[in-house]
Amino acid sequence: MRKPSTRRDFMKNVTVASVGAYVGHGVAFSKQALSANEEINVASIGVGGKGGSDSDHASQFGNVVAICDVDRNTLESKGKSGKFQNAEKFTDYRELLAKYGKKIDICTISTPDHMHAPATLEAMRLGISCYTQKPLTRTIYEARLMATVAKETGVCTQMGNQGTALDSSREAIAQIKSGVLGTLKEVYAWSNRPVWAQGPGRRMTLDKFAEQAKKDDAENADKLVAKKKEEIAKAMERVDWKNWIGVAPQREFWPGIYHTFQWRGWWDFGSGALGDMACHQLTVPFASCGLRDPISVVAKSTGHDFDSFPASAVIKFEFPETSERPAIPFWWYDRKGNKPPMEVFEKHGITKVSDSGVMIVGEKGTFYSTDDYCGNYELKRVEKVKVDYEKAENKGNNDLNNMYELFRAKRANDPKIAKSNFVDRAGPLTETILLGNLAVWAAATGGADGSMGEWGEKVEWDAKALKVTNLAALKTPRVADLIKPKYPEGYRLD
Q: What CATH class does 167-198+268-388+428-482 carry?
A: alpha beta
Q: Which SS3 state, helix, strand or coil, does residue 115 take?
A: helix
Mean pLDDT throughout 158-168? 96
Task: Write the CATH number of the domain with boundaries 7-164.
Answer: 3.40.50.720
* Helical packing angle, 7-21 and 116-125, nearest 10°: 60
The predicted structure's pLDDT at residue 31: 60
pLDDT level of residue 5 (50, 70, 90 thresholds): very low
Query: Is pLDDT above 60 for 106?
Result: yes
Q: Taking Cα atoms as reference points, which of 51, 65, 221, 163 lies closest to residue 425?
A: 163
∠ Cα 422 264 129 (to 5°):
25
DSSP, collapsed to helix, strand or coil, labels residue 45 as: strand
If you average pLDDT over residues 86-106, what whole number do you get?
Answer: 97
pLDDT, tens only, 311-339? 999 999 999 999 999 999 999 999 999 99
37: pLDDT strictly greater than 90: no
pLDDT of residue 29: 52
Per-chain mean pLDDT for the chain: 93
Q: Whole-model pTM above 0.85?
A: yes
Instruction: Give residue limits of the domains in the chain.
Output: 7-164, 167-198+268-388+428-482, 206-256
Question: Using only C-alpha atoms, what is the Rg of the chain?
Answer: 23
Q: What share of the chain is helix, strand, coil (3-state, %, to 5)?
A: 40, 15, 45
Q: How far apart are CA 318 and CA 345, in angstroms?
A: 20
pLDDT digits over 204-221, tens only?
Answer: 999 999 999 999 999 999
